[in-house]
Structure 1
Amino acid sequence: MTTSIERTNAVVDTRDFLRLLATANDVSVPGLIQSVASALLRHYPLDVDLDISAAALPGIWAPPEPGKRKLTPCRNAQ
């Protein structure tokens, strides 16, 4: 069971990880991204958690829209 502090830490740590990736010049350690992502996802909020948060704090969270989001790799034009 994920505790509230683990869930909060997952959100904060994921934000920091994404910032790191966004500013990195080179990520060359094989498997690093996958292993860090797996660790962050362990306690990352599920849609049901977001639904509950949205009901309690509608000014901060919105309920996820099922089937609307699909993450696709972006290709940078260079």
Structure 2
Amino acid sequence: MTAAGERTIAVIATREFLEVLVASDSGASSEVRVAAIRLLCRYPLDVDIVTSSVALPTLWTDPRSSRCRAWRSGEA
């Protein structure tokens, strides 16, 4: 079973990866960029995850938590 913090970090990391693919200088093909754009249109933002973490704390961790901040800064 995936812990709430691990799930949150995985979703954030995936969104950031898709954003890199969308960047024009990523080297990704136009088909990959279009697919990434389509996925990002429906992908949750941090504010969506915060709202979900309040309602479902066993499923999500607040992305502003110290664990998520540490992961984003490369400390985790």
**Which protein has greater RCO, CA pairs closer than 8 Å, 6+ apart?**
2
TM-score, L = length of structure 2 = 0.47
Structure with greater helix percent: 2
